[in-house]
Amino acid sequence: MEESNGNFDYQINLRIEDIRLLHHCVERRIERWEGYPARPIDEQEHLWYLRDNLNRMIFDYAYREL
């Protein structure tokens, strides 16, 4: 665990199946996001950020395993 400007960064070990499941969950959350003002406006952008990073992991795995 590393602290940077009061924020903590964590590392966890996940299998590709875990990454795919998290990606699916984030995608569904984006689809069902209630919008502002029910949810904080920054939440949607953060969901997109998470989705994009999970996509990168999935693509990286596919590239390395070909």
User: pTM (2 decimals)?
Assistant: 0.84
What's the pLDDT score for residue 26?
98
Domain that holds residue 46: 14-65
Q: Is residue 3 part of a domain?
A: no
- Segment 24-41, tens digit of pLDDT: 999 999 999 999 999 999
pLDDT at position 7 over 90: no
CB-based burial, 4-32: b 16+ in 10 Å, e otherwise = eeeeeeeeeeeeeeebeebbeebeeeeee
What's the pLDDT score for residue 16?
97
Q: Is residue 34 part of a domain?
A: yes
What's the pLDDT score for residue 2?
60
Q: Is residue 7 part of a domain?
A: no
Q: Encoding tokens for residue 30?
A: 């984006």
Q: Encoding tokens for residue 9?
A: 């960064």
Q: Is residue 30 part of a domain?
A: yes
Q: Is residue 2 part of a domain?
A: no
Tally of domains within the chain: 1
Q: How confident is the model at residue 56 (pLDDT cuts 50, 70, 90)?
A: very high
